[in-house]
Amino acid sequence: MSDVAERVKKIVVEHLGVEASKVVEGAHFIEDLGADSLDTVELVMAFEEEFGIEIPDDAAEKIQTIKDAIGFIQSQSKK
Amino acid sequence: MFDLQGKRALVTGASGGIGGAIARALHAQGAAVGLSGTRVDALEALAAELKERAYVLPADLSDPAAADALVRAAEAALGGVDILINNAGLTRDNLAVRMKDEDWQKVLDVNLTAAFRLSRACLRGMMKKRWGRIVSIASVVGATGNPGQANYAASKAGLVGMSKALAQEVASRNITVNCIAPGFIVTAMTEHLPEERRQKLVEIIPAGRLGVAADVAAAAVYLASEEAAYVTGQTLHVNGGMAMI
Protein backbone atom coordinates (compact mmCIF):
# COMPACT_ATOMS: atom_id res chain seq x y z
CA MET A 1 0.00 0.00 0.00
CA SER A 2 2.55 2.56 1.13
CA ASP A 3 4.78 1.35 -1.66
CA VAL A 4 2.31 2.75 -4.21
CA ALA A 5 2.16 6.04 -2.33
CA GLU A 6 5.93 6.34 -2.26
CA ARG A 7 6.27 5.62 -5.95
CA VAL A 8 3.52 8.11 -6.83
CA LYS A 9 5.14 10.81 -4.71
CA LYS A 10 8.55 10.13 -6.23
CA ILE A 11 7.16 10.54 -9.76
CA VAL A 12 5.45 13.80 -8.81
CA VAL A 13 8.56 15.21 -7.14
CA GLU A 14 10.72 14.31 -10.13
CA HIS A 15 8.26 15.49 -12.72
CA LEU A 16 7.10 18.76 -11.22
CA GLY A 17 10.41 19.57 -9.55
CA VAL A 18 8.71 20.41 -6.25
CA GLU A 19 9.96 19.79 -2.73
CA ALA A 20 9.07 16.38 -1.35
CA SER A 21 7.63 18.00 1.77
CA LYS A 22 4.91 19.64 -0.35
CA VAL A 23 3.85 16.36 -1.92
CA VAL A 24 1.35 15.32 0.73
CA GLU A 25 -1.68 13.14 0.08
CA GLY A 26 -4.10 16.03 -0.07
CA ALA A 27 -1.97 18.08 -2.47
CA HIS A 28 -3.76 19.18 -5.63
CA PHE A 29 -1.54 18.95 -8.71
CA ILE A 30 -2.64 22.23 -10.24
CA GLU A 31 -3.65 24.33 -7.24
CA ASP A 32 -0.99 23.27 -4.77
CA LEU A 33 1.89 22.00 -6.87
CA GLY A 34 1.81 24.44 -9.77
CA ALA A 35 1.14 21.88 -12.50
CA ASP A 36 -0.38 22.93 -15.82
CA SER A 37 -2.80 20.81 -17.85
CA LEU A 38 0.01 19.22 -19.84
CA ASP A 39 1.79 18.30 -16.59
CA THR A 40 -1.28 16.40 -15.41
CA VAL A 41 -1.37 14.46 -18.69
CA GLU A 42 2.33 13.71 -18.38
CA LEU A 43 1.85 12.54 -14.79
CA VAL A 44 -0.92 10.19 -15.88
CA MET A 45 1.35 8.81 -18.61
CA ALA A 46 4.16 8.41 -16.08
CA PHE A 47 1.83 6.52 -13.69
CA GLU A 48 0.75 4.27 -16.56
CA GLU A 49 4.35 3.46 -17.31
CA GLU A 50 5.46 3.00 -13.70
CA PHE A 51 2.59 0.73 -12.71
CA GLY A 52 1.96 -0.99 -16.05
CA ILE A 53 -1.68 0.06 -16.10
CA GLU A 54 -3.92 1.96 -18.46
CA ILE A 55 -5.74 5.00 -17.13
CA PRO A 56 -8.74 5.86 -19.32
CA ASP A 57 -9.47 9.54 -20.04
CA ASP A 58 -12.57 9.71 -17.82
CA ALA A 59 -10.61 8.31 -14.88
CA ALA A 60 -7.62 10.54 -15.63
CA GLU A 61 -9.82 13.64 -15.38
CA LYS A 62 -10.72 12.69 -11.83
CA ILE A 63 -7.11 12.28 -10.74
CA GLN A 64 -6.44 15.76 -9.38
CA THR A 65 -4.61 15.07 -6.14
CA ILE A 66 -1.93 12.72 -4.88
CA LYS A 67 -4.62 10.85 -2.97
CA ASP A 68 -6.73 10.44 -6.15
CA ALA A 69 -3.74 8.96 -7.97
CA ILE A 70 -2.86 6.53 -5.18
CA GLY A 71 -6.50 5.48 -4.85
CA PHE A 72 -6.93 4.81 -8.55
CA ILE A 73 -3.68 2.89 -8.88
CA GLN A 74 -4.49 0.74 -5.82
CA SER A 75 -7.96 -0.01 -7.17
CA GLN A 76 -6.37 -1.19 -10.44
CA SER A 77 -3.73 -3.41 -8.89
CA LYS A 78 -6.37 -5.15 -6.74
CA LYS A 79 -8.17 -6.39 -9.83
CA MET B 1 24.69 28.25 -36.29
CA PHE B 2 22.29 25.39 -37.00
CA ASP B 3 24.50 22.77 -35.34
CA LEU B 4 22.57 19.51 -34.98
CA GLN B 5 25.27 17.34 -33.40
CA GLY B 6 23.77 14.93 -30.91
CA LYS B 7 20.27 15.32 -32.35
CA ARG B 8 18.34 12.35 -33.69
CA ALA B 9 16.07 12.91 -36.68
CA LEU B 10 13.42 10.70 -38.23
CA VAL B 11 12.68 11.57 -41.85
CA THR B 12 9.74 9.94 -43.60
CA GLY B 13 9.66 9.70 -47.37
CA ALA B 14 13.46 9.73 -47.35
CA SER B 15 13.52 7.64 -50.54
CA GLY B 16 12.10 10.62 -52.43
CA GLY B 17 13.82 13.75 -53.74
CA ILE B 18 12.82 16.22 -51.02
CA GLY B 19 13.03 13.72 -48.15
CA GLY B 20 16.46 12.56 -49.26
CA ALA B 21 17.71 16.13 -49.49
CA ILE B 22 16.38 16.92 -46.01
CA ALA B 23 18.04 13.81 -44.56
CA ARG B 24 21.35 14.77 -46.21
CA ALA B 25 21.14 18.34 -44.92
CA LEU B 26 20.29 17.35 -41.33
CA HIS B 27 23.07 14.78 -41.43
CA ALA B 28 25.54 17.37 -42.73
CA GLN B 29 24.75 19.49 -39.66
CA GLY B 30 25.68 16.54 -37.45
CA ALA B 31 22.35 14.83 -36.78
CA ALA B 32 21.89 11.07 -36.74
CA VAL B 33 19.13 10.22 -39.21
CA GLY B 34 16.50 7.51 -39.43
CA LEU B 35 15.61 7.08 -43.08
CA SER B 36 12.08 5.88 -43.62
CA GLY B 37 10.26 5.17 -46.83
CA THR B 38 8.79 2.41 -48.94
CA ARG B 39 11.65 1.96 -51.43
CA VAL B 40 14.30 0.07 -49.47
CA ASP B 41 16.89 0.19 -52.29
CA ALA B 42 16.83 3.97 -52.35
CA LEU B 43 17.04 4.16 -48.55
CA GLU B 44 19.99 1.80 -48.44
CA ALA B 45 21.78 3.73 -51.17
CA LEU B 46 21.29 6.94 -49.18
CA ALA B 47 22.50 5.31 -45.95
CA ALA B 48 25.58 4.03 -47.78
CA GLU B 49 26.26 7.53 -49.11
CA LEU B 50 25.97 9.03 -45.61
CA LYS B 51 28.17 6.23 -44.19
CA GLU B 52 27.72 6.85 -40.44
CA ARG B 53 24.81 7.97 -38.25
CA ALA B 54 22.25 6.72 -40.79
CA TYR B 55 19.67 3.99 -40.21
CA VAL B 56 17.30 2.46 -42.73
CA LEU B 57 13.77 2.12 -41.31
CA PRO B 58 11.38 0.96 -44.04
CA ALA B 59 7.68 1.66 -43.45
CA ASP B 60 4.52 1.79 -45.49
CA LEU B 61 2.53 4.54 -43.83
CA SER B 62 -0.69 3.57 -45.59
CA ASP B 63 -0.79 0.78 -43.02
CA PRO B 64 -2.48 2.22 -39.87
CA ALA B 65 -0.15 0.31 -37.53
CA ALA B 66 3.00 1.46 -39.33
CA ALA B 67 3.41 4.88 -37.70
CA ASP B 68 3.67 3.65 -34.11
CA ALA B 69 5.90 0.76 -35.18
CA LEU B 70 8.16 3.16 -37.07
CA VAL B 71 8.62 5.45 -34.07
CA ARG B 72 9.44 2.46 -31.87
CA ALA B 73 11.98 1.27 -34.45
CA ALA B 74 13.47 4.76 -34.73
CA GLU B 75 13.75 5.11 -30.95
CA ALA B 76 15.46 1.71 -30.79
CA ALA B 77 17.89 2.53 -33.60
CA LEU B 78 18.65 6.14 -32.72
CA GLY B 79 18.06 6.08 -28.95
CA GLY B 80 15.22 8.61 -29.30
CA VAL B 81 13.70 11.07 -31.75
CA ASP B 82 14.42 14.79 -31.27
CA ILE B 83 13.44 15.90 -34.76
CA LEU B 84 10.54 14.48 -36.75
CA ILE B 85 10.23 15.39 -40.42
CA ASN B 86 6.79 14.44 -41.75
CA ASN B 87 7.66 14.38 -45.41
CA ALA B 88 6.04 11.19 -46.72
CA GLY B 89 3.27 11.98 -49.14
CA LEU B 90 1.62 10.87 -52.31
CA THR B 91 -0.77 12.17 -54.93
CA ARG B 92 -3.84 10.62 -56.54
CA ASP B 93 -4.90 13.50 -58.78
CA ASN B 94 -8.26 13.74 -60.44
CA LEU B 95 -11.00 16.30 -60.87
CA ALA B 96 -13.36 16.05 -57.91
CA VAL B 97 -16.28 14.78 -59.98
CA ARG B 98 -14.12 11.87 -61.09
CA MET B 99 -12.29 11.28 -57.81
CA LYS B 100 -12.91 7.93 -56.15
CA ASP B 101 -13.41 7.65 -52.40
CA GLU B 102 -10.35 5.44 -52.17
CA ASP B 103 -8.18 8.06 -53.85
CA TRP B 104 -9.41 10.67 -51.40
CA GLN B 105 -8.86 8.36 -48.44
CA LYS B 106 -5.44 7.08 -49.42
CA VAL B 107 -4.05 10.60 -49.76
CA LEU B 108 -5.54 11.73 -46.44
CA ASP B 109 -4.33 8.56 -44.70
CA VAL B 110 -0.70 8.86 -45.74
CA ASN B 111 -0.24 12.64 -45.96
CA LEU B 112 -2.22 13.69 -42.89
CA THR B 113 -3.29 10.83 -40.60
CA ALA B 114 0.12 9.14 -40.59
CA ALA B 115 1.74 12.51 -39.84
CA PHE B 116 -0.57 12.89 -36.85
CA ARG B 117 0.19 9.40 -35.57
CA LEU B 118 3.93 9.90 -35.98
CA SER B 119 3.76 13.26 -34.21
CA ARG B 120 1.72 11.80 -31.34
CA ALA B 121 4.14 8.92 -30.91
CA CYS B 122 7.22 11.18 -30.96
CA LEU B 123 5.75 13.84 -28.66
CA ARG B 124 5.90 11.55 -25.66
CA GLY B 125 9.67 11.31 -25.76
CA MET B 126 10.05 14.99 -26.69
CA MET B 127 7.89 16.07 -23.73
CA LYS B 128 10.03 14.01 -21.39
CA LYS B 129 13.18 15.43 -22.85
CA ARG B 130 11.78 18.97 -22.87
CA TRP B 131 13.01 19.49 -26.42
CA GLY B 132 11.66 18.63 -29.83
CA ARG B 133 11.11 19.74 -33.40
CA ILE B 134 8.32 18.58 -35.66
CA VAL B 135 8.42 19.81 -39.24
CA SER B 136 5.75 18.74 -41.69
CA ILE B 137 6.14 19.21 -45.41
CA ALA B 138 2.94 20.84 -46.62
CA SER B 139 2.54 22.47 -50.04
CA VAL B 140 1.73 25.76 -51.67
CA VAL B 141 -1.46 24.12 -52.96
CA GLY B 142 -2.63 23.67 -49.36
CA ALA B 143 -2.93 27.45 -49.27
CA THR B 144 -3.90 28.22 -52.86
CA GLY B 145 -5.73 25.08 -54.00
CA ASN B 146 -5.12 23.40 -57.32
CA PRO B 147 -7.59 21.82 -59.72
CA GLY B 148 -7.36 18.04 -59.69
CA GLN B 149 -5.88 18.00 -56.19
CA ALA B 150 -8.83 18.32 -53.80
CA ASN B 151 -7.47 15.40 -51.76
CA TYR B 152 -3.85 16.55 -51.80
CA ALA B 153 -4.70 20.20 -51.06
CA ALA B 154 -6.97 19.14 -48.18
CA SER B 155 -4.25 16.92 -46.71
CA LYS B 156 -1.65 19.70 -46.91
CA ALA B 157 -3.97 22.35 -45.46
CA GLY B 158 -4.76 19.78 -42.77
CA LEU B 159 -1.09 19.56 -41.82
CA VAL B 160 -1.02 23.33 -41.32
CA GLY B 161 -4.03 23.29 -38.98
CA MET B 162 -2.77 20.26 -37.11
CA SER B 163 0.63 21.86 -36.61
CA LYS B 164 -0.90 25.04 -35.19
CA ALA B 165 -2.91 23.03 -32.65
CA LEU B 166 0.06 20.86 -31.65
CA ALA B 167 2.30 23.92 -31.45
CA GLN B 168 0.03 25.46 -28.83
CA GLU B 169 -0.17 22.24 -26.84
CA VAL B 170 3.56 21.70 -26.45
CA ALA B 171 5.18 25.13 -26.77
CA SER B 172 5.86 25.21 -23.02
CA ARG B 173 8.02 22.10 -23.40
CA ASN B 174 10.47 23.65 -25.87
CA ILE B 175 8.90 21.70 -28.69
CA THR B 176 8.15 23.56 -31.88
CA VAL B 177 5.78 22.37 -34.58
CA ASN B 178 5.97 23.99 -38.00
CA CYS B 179 5.31 23.40 -41.67
CA ILE B 180 7.27 24.04 -44.83
CA ALA B 181 5.18 24.71 -47.91
CA PRO B 182 7.25 24.09 -51.04
CA GLY B 183 6.17 25.48 -54.39
CA PHE B 184 7.24 23.77 -57.61
CA ILE B 185 10.31 21.72 -56.79
CA VAL B 186 12.27 19.67 -59.31
CA THR B 187 11.88 16.02 -58.23
CA ALA B 188 11.22 12.73 -59.97
CA MET B 189 7.57 13.83 -60.03
CA THR B 190 8.23 17.05 -61.97
CA GLU B 191 11.45 16.51 -63.93
CA HIS B 192 9.68 14.86 -66.85
CA LEU B 193 7.35 17.78 -67.44
CA PRO B 194 7.19 18.81 -71.11
CA GLU B 195 9.49 21.77 -71.78
CA GLU B 196 6.54 23.99 -72.75
CA ARG B 197 4.73 23.35 -69.46
CA ARG B 198 7.94 23.87 -67.55
CA GLN B 199 8.43 27.23 -69.25
CA LYS B 200 4.88 28.27 -68.33
CA LEU B 201 5.57 27.39 -64.71
CA VAL B 202 8.78 29.38 -64.63
CA GLU B 203 6.92 32.43 -65.98
CA ILE B 204 4.71 32.60 -62.89
CA ILE B 205 7.64 32.24 -60.48
CA PRO B 206 9.30 35.60 -59.71
CA ALA B 207 12.61 33.87 -58.92
CA GLY B 208 12.65 32.70 -62.55
CA ARG B 209 13.37 29.05 -61.84
CA LEU B 210 11.83 25.96 -60.34
CA GLY B 211 12.93 25.12 -56.82
CA VAL B 212 15.36 22.35 -55.97
CA ALA B 213 15.13 19.92 -53.08
CA ALA B 214 18.05 21.65 -51.37
CA ASP B 215 15.94 24.84 -51.11
CA VAL B 216 13.44 22.92 -49.01
CA ALA B 217 16.15 21.11 -47.04
CA ALA B 218 17.71 24.41 -45.95
CA ALA B 219 14.36 25.49 -44.51
CA ALA B 220 14.10 22.18 -42.66
CA VAL B 221 17.56 22.61 -41.14
CA TYR B 222 16.58 26.04 -39.89
CA LEU B 223 13.29 24.93 -38.34
CA ALA B 224 15.01 21.90 -36.75
CA SER B 225 17.73 24.02 -35.20
CA GLU B 226 18.09 25.49 -31.73
CA GLU B 227 18.13 28.92 -33.36
CA ALA B 228 14.49 28.51 -34.47
CA ALA B 229 13.30 27.91 -30.89
CA TYR B 230 10.96 30.93 -30.96
CA VAL B 231 9.29 29.98 -34.25
CA THR B 232 6.28 27.72 -33.81
CA GLY B 233 2.93 27.08 -35.45
CA GLN B 234 4.23 28.70 -38.63
CA THR B 235 4.33 27.75 -42.27
CA LEU B 236 7.50 28.67 -44.12
CA HIS B 237 6.76 29.07 -47.83
CA VAL B 238 9.62 28.04 -50.09
CA ASN B 239 8.34 28.86 -53.55
CA GLY B 240 10.49 31.47 -55.29
CA GLY B 241 7.78 34.05 -54.69
CA MET B 242 5.07 32.33 -56.74
CA ALA B 243 2.57 32.79 -53.89
CA MET B 244 3.05 35.29 -51.10
CA ILE B 245 0.85 34.28 -48.20
pLDDT for B37-81, tens place per residue?
999 999 999 999 999 999 999 999 999 999 999 999 999 999 999
Torsion A19-A22-A23-A24 (CA) sign: positive
- B60: nearest Cα among B52, B51, B69: B69
| Rounded-to-10 torsion of CA B217, B219, B223, B225 | 70
Q: B72: distance to nearest CA of chain A, Å?
A: 15
Average pLDDT of chain B, as a whole number? 96
pLDDT score of B143: 97
Average pLDDT over residues B229-241: 98
Across B1-21, average pLDDT = 96
Residue B213 contacts residue B20 (beta carbons within 8 Å) = yes
- Residue A45's closest chain B neighbor by CA? B124
For A43, nearest residue in chain B (alpha carbons): B128
CA distance B208 to B199: 10
- Indicate the pLDDT class of residue A1, thresholds 50, 70 and 90: very low
Report CB contact under 8 Å: A36, B127: no
Three-state secondary structure readout of B96-115: HHHCCHHHHHHHHHHHHHHH
Average pLDDT over residues B5-27: 97
Contact between B220 and B12 (Cβ < 8 Å) = no
Partners of B136 in beta bridges: B86, B179
Summarize the confidence of residues B125-151 as an average pLDDT. 96
Nearest to B35 by CA among B97, B95, B81: B81
The reported pLDDT for the residue numbered B188 is: 76
pLDDT of A79: 58
Overall average pLDDT of the A52-57 stretch: 92
Percentage of chain B with pLDDT > 90?
Answer: 93
Contacting A residues, span 18-57, partner chain B, CB-CB under 8 Å: 36, 38, 42, 45
Catalytic (active-site) positions of A: 36
Residue A44: per-residue pLDDT: 94
pLDDT tens column, B92-115: 999 999 999 999 999 999 999 999
Distance CA B116, CA B179 (A): 13
DSSP B202: H
Q: What is the mean pLDDT of residues B115-122?
A: 98
Per the annotation, the verdict on B152 as an active-site residue is yes
pLDDT of residue B190: 72
Residue B88 CA to residue B93 CA, distance in Å, equals: 16
- Chain B contact set for A39 (CB, 8 A): none
pLDDT tens digits, one per residue of A21-41:
999 999 999 999 999 989 999
Partners of A42 on chain B (C-beta within 8 Å) are 127-128
What confidence tens digit (pLDDT) does each residue in B152-171 have?
999 999 999 999 999 999 99
Task: Give the Cα separation of B211 and B242 in Å (integer).
Answer: 11
**How much is the ipTM here?**
0.80
B75/B71 Cα distance (integer angstroms)? 6
